[in-house]
Structure 1
Amino acid sequence: MTALPGIEDLTVLRVDVAEGVATVTIDRAPVNAQNGVFREEIVRVFDVLHGSDAVRAIVLTGAGKTFSAGADLKDRPDASRPGAFPRHSRAVRAGFDCVMECSKPVIAAVNGAAIGAGCVLALVCDIILVADDAFMSMTEVDVGLAGGVAHVLRHFGQSDARMFLLTARRLSGTELVRMNVASGCFPKADLLPAAQAMAREIAGKVPLAVEAAKRAFTLNEYMPLREGYVYEQTQTALLAKTEDTQEALAAFAQKRKPVFKGR
């Protein structure tokens, strides 16, 4: 295991690093609900992982039977206090943005219920894997709230997105795979090993190329086809000059395992 400076004093998250893979576990009993402490810690953790040379891929999962049951309703802002909601909303966005903006690919290993903000947390990851007894649901309409539409639309088709949000139905792991929201459904005992194996596979690729590909995915959501492809080509041209790309090409030609330096 590799210790990372800056994240030694966590209370609701656990971080384990091995073989270039960081496994981040939400551990806030009983249901891994998200509060102010969670948001502060996840931002701090993902900022450190973003800049760590020891980490090349990340797995995000939950402790116990739940991935995350969503926002802690006891931690809601006081609507009578001016400025309370903008501050709260910024903190909520930061808790999701730090995952999306992390330079390293993030695999969600959804081990159980992912509800509301817990569902959004899974949806901001790059790859989603689910346990066969897990489910996602957006229950905002049940409790008089609204939110999550933008993130749901990134993964669901239009009709499915509306069905999901307007009915607050639970979608099982097999349904999520059928809808192309998740990339795999596994028995619960096999989920984390499968996610970590995939993360190790990613960690074995050229690090700068993986980071460039993640940036391209993020930017291309908002670009026309031609501009998006031009951006990717500029990244390829820049990567061609790096030591790691030259090492990858040499290793391929020499039929050996490459040794990357991250530059």
Structure 2
Amino acid sequence: MSDAYETLRLEVAGYVATVTLDRPPVNAMNRAMREEIVRVFDALHDREDVRAVVLTGAGKAFCAGADLKERPNIAGDPGAYPRHNRLTRAVFDSVMECGKPVIAAVNGLGIGAGCVLALSADIILVAEDAYLSMTEVDVGLAGGVKHVRRHLGESDARLMIYTARRMSGPELLRMNAASLCLSREALLDEARKIGAEIAAKVPLAVQAAKRSFQVTEYMPLHEGYRFEQSQTVALASTEDTQEAWRAFAEKRKPVFKGR
């Protein structure tokens, strides 16, 4: 697969990939960006040289959401909305289903689909002067409720959706929607640092942990924990888990092979 993209940039160093949305001026999501986000995260899912992914935006914006110039034409193009909605879901699914943990470094505004894109990541970091906002009610639409509800408490989720307010970095931290709120200058370095920390762990174990988060999200406790235990059983016989045990006993740094 070619690493040439029109609307984003991809860098890989030390098992950490950085995906930067790069469609000036505000990284609005058009069809090309949607297709490229799906393509890059599907590829990162399978790449052996990637163990964690940082997702951020170029310039002063994370992602301004959907490019309204490309809204589906219901009257003139039958089937336009189903196609559009299917691809939009695929964007968020590709991030959530990527086998490698994804760290969103929200460096600026994240509006509508841009907000949901950030909320699709495993770990969310925000700049102090960044914000997330769901503006659908301002333009006569409604969407993003389920994604918002996954991260915010019921009152805060409704406040965000019903008012279309801009939730700043410090507010998102207070709402437990973000793990860290940092200066814009420190944001990307910290996200990559977390990525490197994840990349140093047993790769198959990290992937199994992410799979457990995905599969058990809506399971009752008993069934969810049983699934997690099945992951542990499967990992116990892998080369990397055996290497982790030997390295711990021998007080040395482990060398993982991804198998």
Q: 2:73 aligns with which of 78, 82, 85?
A: 78
Q: Which runs of 5+ in 1 are unaligned?
A: 1-5
Contact 1:129 1:195 in 2 (8 A): yes
Residue identity matched to 1:83 = G
- Name the residue aligned to 1:200: 196
- Name the residue aligned to 1:129: 125
Q: 1:158 aligns with which of 154, 158, 179?
A: 154
Instruction: For residues 11-64 of structure 1, give each alpha carbon's deviation from its aligned partner in whole angstroms, at most 9, with x where no partner exists.
Output: 111000000000000000000000100011111101110000000000000000
Per the alignment, in what secondary structure is the counterpart of residue 88 of structure 1?
helix
Q: Which runs of 5+ in 2 are unaligned?
A: none
What TM-score do you get using the length of structure 1 for normalisation?
0.97
Identity of aligned residues (%): 67
Distance (Å, rounded) in 2 between the aligned partners of 1:76 and 1:244: 48
Q: 2:93 aligns with which of 91, 97, 112?
A: 97
Asked if 1:109 is matched to 2:105, the reply is: yes
Contact 1:22 1:55 in 2 (8 A): yes
Distance (Å, rounded) in 1 between the aligned partners of 2:16 and 2:239: 22
Distance (Å, rounded) in 2 between the aligned partners of 1:82 and 1:70: 24
Contact 2:3 2:10 in 1 (8 A): no
- Name the residue aligned to 2:53: 58
Residue identity matched to 2:25 = P
Per the alignment, in what secondary structure is the counterpart of residue 125 of structure 2?
strand
Per the alignment, in what secondary structure is the counterpart of residue 246 of structure 1?
helix
Runs of 4+ in 1 over 4 A off after TM superposition: none
Q: 1:29 aligns with which of 24, 27, 37?
A: 24
- Name the residue aligned to 2:13: 18
Instruction: For residues 104-126 of structure 1, give each alpha carbon's deviation from its aligned partner in whole angstroms, at most 9, with x where no partner exists.
Output: 00000000000000000000000
Instruction: For residues 161-220 of structure 1, give each alpha carbon's deviation from its aligned partner in whole angstroms, at most 9, with x where no partner exists.
Output: 001100001111111111100000111000000000000000000000000000100111
Residue identity matched to 1:79 = I
RMSD of aligned C-alpha atoms?
0.6
The total of aligned residue pairs comes to 258
- Name the residue aligned to 1:3: none
Contact 1:138 1:165 in 2 (8 A): yes
Residue identity matched to 1:223 = M
- Name the residue aligned to 1:48: 43
Contact 2:72 2:84 in 1 (8 A): yes
